[in-house]
Chain A
Amino acid sequence: MSNPATKIEILYPEYGNQGGDNGNALYLEVCLPKENFVYTSHAATPYFVEHTPSAIIMGGMTEAQQELIISRLMPYKDRLAELADQGVPMLFAGNASELFGEKIVNPDGSEIEALGLFKFTTTRYMPQRFHDVQVGEFDPGNGKEPFVVVGFKMQFTLTEGDNSNCYFLKNKVGFGINKESKLEGFRRKNAIATWLIGPLLPLNPYLTRWILDMAGEEDTPLAFEEEAVAAYQKHAREMVYPGMHLHY
C-alpha cells in the first residue's frame, strides 16, 4: 500500500501530452492510487509552491504552450530550484525540458527567457526536425547499479550547454543534447530534463522504479512489471543494432 502522504504533481496535463508523453503519468497512475496525485492545470497555483511534492512530472507540448507555461511558472522559478536542490525527483520530458534552461532561441533570432533550473540554451530550427533512437546509461546515484535507458527523439531543437558533469544519460546510441554530444539531458540531483519523448516510463520500468523510490514509494510494486520488462528488454536488445535509426 502506498503512503497517503505521497503526492506526485502532474504539471499541466492538458498541455504536456504531445507525442505520447502522457504515458509517463499514465504508468505512475496505474502504480499508485489516485490519492497520490495532484494535477495542476490552467492558471491554478502549482501545488509545489506551498508544498513539497514527492515528485513532479511534465511532458512535451506545443511551442505556444511552452511560452505560456514559462510565463505561468516564472514567479516560482526560485522555488523550483529550491525543490530540485532538496532532491525532489522531477521529470521534464520532450520539449518540456526546454522550459527549464536559460533561454529558447527562435529561428528568427528572437529569444524567450526560460526558468533557469539548468544552464543551457535551446535553439529552434523549424521546419528541420531531428529524429533518433536512444540507448544510454543512467546512474541512479542511490547506491544502485547503473542501468540502460531506451527511448526516442523527435524534435525541432538542439541545445548548447555544459552537461559533462550533470547529464541524464551517457549514450551508446543516439545523439545527446546536440548532434556533437553523446550526453543526453541535464540533471540537478534527482531533477531530470530530457528530450526523450513519449512513454519514457512505460518503456523503462527500471527508471520508473527509480522515480518511485525517490518519491518514497520503495515498497510499491511496479504495475505490470513482467510485461514492461519484456518490452524494455526487446528495445534494449534491438536498438543497439549497428546503424539503428527511427523509421518514419
Chain B
Amino acid sequence: MAQKKSRLFPVAFLAAKATLAALKLTNHEGGTLPGFIAEGIDPAFLGDIAKPEQIVFITGTNGKTTTNNLLNDLLADNGYRTVTNRVGGNISSGFASSFAKNATWKGTSKTKLAVMEFDELSGPRIFPYLQPDILSVTNLFRDTFSRSATPDYVFDVMDKGIPASTHLILNADDMISCRLAPQCTHRTYYSIARLAEDTAEPVGIVSDLTACPKCGGKLKWDYAHLRHLGHATCEECGYTNPTPDYEVISVEPETGKFVVKEHCHEGAPTYEYKLNSYSIVNLYNLFVAIVTAREMGLAPATIAASLQRVNIASSRYNEIDYNGRRLISMASKGENDTATSVTIDILRKQPGDKAIIIMIADAYMAKAKDQTEYIGWYYQTDFEFLQDPSVKQVIIYGDTSLDLQLRLRLAGIDPAKTFVASSPEETADLVDLNACQHVFYAHGLYNGGIADISRNRIIERLKQMEASHE
C-alpha cells in the first residue's frame, strides 16, 4: 500500500525544483542544496519523492566513487538511463537532490533505474525512506577518524540498518565487510584469487584486520592483496573468507586482461575482461562494477564490449609527459591513510628516479587561525614506502610540515633527501632535475590547485634548461 505523502511534500518539492532551476540559471551543478532545502521543509522528502523502480547503491570506504561512475558509464553505454548522484552528494540531501531532479512535475520518475554512490554512515537517515534493491560494498577500512571513528563503528551502523530485502554484493576478500547484515539472505560474493604480487600477510604500518573479526583470535594468513584484503583463517574459531560466486582467477598486469570465473552459474563459465590501467585498486573497482552489472542482468559479452569504450577513469590521477619526464599528480582523500598509502606506493613504484612532493595538509586550513587539523593519521600512513632508493627527494609542503617532517624521520627517510618548502613554487624550485627524471605529487583532494602551481613551475624550469642547452 502506498504510504500517504506528507502535507509538506508539495512545498518541499516546489522548493527543490525552484532551487534546481536557480542553480541551472547560474551555471551551478546540482549538489546537495536542493535536497537540503527540501528535507528542511519535509523531513520525509526522500520517502515521498518519486523514485525509479530499481535502486542500486555502491558503498564502501575506498573505491565507491570510481566504481559508481564506471557502472553508470557501463549502463549508459548499453542504453540504460539512470539517475545518479555523481555530481551531487552521497548523503541524504544528495539523494534528495538527485531524485528531485529526476522527478517530473506530475510526480513520476523520469528513469526506471538509479545507480548511486552511498555514504556508509547515511543508512540511519536513508533506509527508513529508501531501500536499495542491490547494495554493492567495495570494502571497509579505517577512514577519517574524526567522522568515522573505527571500521567497527561504521560496520555497526551499516549492519543494523540494511533492509533484509536488499541483495548484497560483498567482497569476500574483506573479512570485515563480508560479514555485513546477516539479515540479508540474498548475498553474492566476489573475490580475487592469489596473485603473484601478493604478500604473505597484510603489509603496512597498520591493518584493520589484525585479529579475527568474530572472536578476536589470531589469524593465519594465506595471502594479502592490499592491506587486509586477502585470505585468512582464524586459528581459534576457524572463521574464514566466504566462498566466492565470482572470482578473478588470472590476471595479466602487462595487458590488463583478467579472467572471471562465475562459480554461481551452471558449469562455472569463465569470461575475459580488460582493464585499461592495471593496479590492484583499479582491478577491484572494475571487478565490483562487473559483478554488479552481471547481477543486474548484463551479459558478459556486452560488458566486455563496453569496456572497450568505457573503463576506469580516475579523476584523481593526472599525468603530463614532458619530453620523457613524467609529472604525475595523484589526489587522495584527506585523513584517509589507506588512500594516501596506496598513492605513495603507486608513485614510488613508477620506473625511474623521482622526486615525490607531498601536499596533504589542508591548504585552506592554513588560513584559519582558529582551526587546526588532526595529524594522527600520518602515523597510520605508509611513509616508509619513501625509503625506496628510486625516490631521490621527498619534498613536503603545508601547514603541518613540521609534523610530517618528524613522521618522515620516524619512517626512516633519509634527512638528506627530505626538504620542507614554504610555498608551492618552492616545492618546484627544490627539485633536483638532474637527479630526478620524474616529479610526482601526492596531494589531498583539495590541493590540486597548488600541485598544479608547482607542476607548471617544473615545466617552466625544464623549458629554461632546454633553452640554456640550445
Contact = CB atoms under 8 A, between A and B. Distances in A.
A244 B405 CA distance: 23
B153 A62 contact: yes
A97 to B, nearest CB: 16
B130 to A, nearest CB: 19
A156 B218 CA distance: 28
Interface stretch (B98-106, B377-385, B387-395, B426-434): B377-385
B149 to A, nearest CB: 7
Contact of B376 (A27, A152, A223): A152
A154 B146 contact: yes
Contacts of A156: 149, 153
B150 A20 contact: no
A242 B142 CA distance: 32
Interface in A116-140: 126-127, 129, 131, 133
B309 interface: no
19 contacts: A14-B210, A15-B210, A18-B142, A19-B376, A19-B377, A23-B378, A42-B216, A61-B150, A62-B151, A63-B152, A64-B152, A126-B153, A129-B147, A152-B374, A154-B374, A198-B376, A227-B405, A245-B370, A248-B373
Interface in B182-224: 205-206, 210-211, 216-218
Interface of A: 14-15, 17-23, 26-27, 30, 41-43, 61-65, 68, 126-127, 129, 131, 133, 152, 154, 156, 197-199, 202-203, 223-224, 227-228, 230-231, 234-235, 238-239, 241-248
Contact of A198 (B368, B379, B402, B410): B379
Contact of B410 (A27, A41, A42, A43): A27
Contacts of B379: 20-23, 26, 198-199, 202
Contacts of B142: 18
B216 A65 contact: yes
Nearest to B337: A20
Contacts of A126: 153
A224 B406 contact: yes
B362 A30 contact: no
Of B147, B369, B372, chain A has the most CB atoms within 10 Å of the CB of: B372
Contacts of A224: 406, 409-410
B269 to A, nearest CB: 40
A32 to B, nearest CB: 13
A37 to B, nearest CB: 15
B372 to A, nearest CB: 6
B270 interface: no
Nearest to B216: A68
Contacts of A241: 369-370
B406 A19 contact: no
Contact of B147 (A21, A23, A230, A248): A248
Contact of A248 (B144, B150, B405): B144
Contacts of A230: 402
A199 B337 CA distance: 14
Given A23-B379, A246-B372, A18 B406 contact: no
B403 interface: yes
A156 B216 CA distance: 22
B120 to A, nearest CB: 13
A244 B380 CA distance: 25
Given A198-B374, A248-B373, 14 more contacts: A14-B210, A19-B376, A26-B410, A30-B410, A62-B151, A224-B409, A227-B402, A231-B406, A243-B370, A244-B372, A246-B372, A247-B362, A248-B335, A248-B374
A199 B150 contact: no
Contacts of A235: 372
Contacts of B218: 41-43
B152 A228 contact: no
A197 B371 contact: no
Contacts of A245: 370-372
A203 B379 CA distance: 11
Given A154-B145, A231-B402, A202 B371 contact: no
Interface in B393-426: 402-403, 405-407, 409-410
A8 to B, nearest CB: 16
A17 to B, nearest CB: 5
A98 to B, nearest CB: 14
Of A30, A126, A198, chain B has the most CB atoms within 10 Å of the CB of: A198
A224 B413 CA distance: 12
B410 A202 contact: yes
Contacts of A244: 370-372
B365 interface: yes
A19 B371 CA distance: 19
A234 B217 contact: no
B405 A231 contact: yes
B373 A247 contact: yes
A18 B150 contact: yes
Given A228-B406, A241-B370, A198 B375 contact: yes
B372 A247 contact: yes
Contact of B146 (A43, A203, A248): A248
B246 to A, nearest CB: 30
Contacts of B153: 62-63, 126, 156
